[in-house]
Chains A and B, each alone.
Chain A
Amino acid sequence: MRIRYFAWLRQRVGVAEEEVEPPPEVTTVAGLKSWLGVRHPRFAEACAAAGVVRAAVDQEFAEDGRSLAGAREVAFFPPVTGG
């Protein structure tokens, strides 16, 4: 599974993307956040603040409860600021 980070989350984590193989017990976006937080403490810090870290699964916005079944790419980023 490919993980991508954008904007200041990318800077905090220190990588733009990485390939990971989460264990079978990681089945949701929330579970993946916790699991990634172990290897990236600054990601865990960001996730601890409510509403700061948004996610997309296979390029669709996804809430914490979203299943990772079949997911190839999961992205994490702060709230968007375009326009």
Chain B
Amino acid sequence: MTVRIAPAPFEPARELETFARGRVDVGGIASFVGLVRGEHAGARVLAMTLEHYPGMTERQLERIAAEARARWPLQDLLIVHRVGRMLPGEPIVLVATASAHRAAALEACAFLIDWLKTRAPFWKLEETPAGERWVEARAEDDAAAARWQRAAE
């Protein structure tokens, strides 16, 4: 299980290759790659800077990863999340899950991205032609995360 904050650009394909290499204990790997969009909320995005809370970020990602492993039979999982300034098209986040069967891998992957969007302390600052603006939290993201809420919570 690997959780990593990346202050410099990373290559999802290379990360996935390393993640999958030599594995004979899994039936499949599910992955999600989030990219910086070149357009958002009606404005061109020239660049984006991700701020985070060092220490707490890692702790929250570890906790979310542990929760995924408790809920699904995963052989392994990987989270890489960029911080700092990046350009449209650059990867922001990579989530990968490895399991004996696809349902567990796919569900856990969706769970991880939904939860990290609402539970890990990252903040997006966009540079647009009109100036800088902080991205606002979306109700849709809260709703997406809420669908994984268990009755006990």
Contact = CB atoms under 8 A, between A and B. Distances in A.
B59 A82 contact: no
A83 B121 contact: no
Interface stretch (A18-26, A28-36, A41-49, A73-81): A73-81
Nearest to A8: B134
B120 A7 contact: no
Interface residues of B, number: 27
Interface residues of A, number: 16
Given A80-B119, A82-B81, A75 B50 contact: no
13 contacts: A6-B121, A8-B123, A56-B53, A56-B56, A59-B56, A59-B59, A61-B119, A77-B53, A79-B136, A79-B137, A81-B124, A81-B137, A83-B122
Interface of A: 4, 6-8, 56, 59-61, 75, 77-83
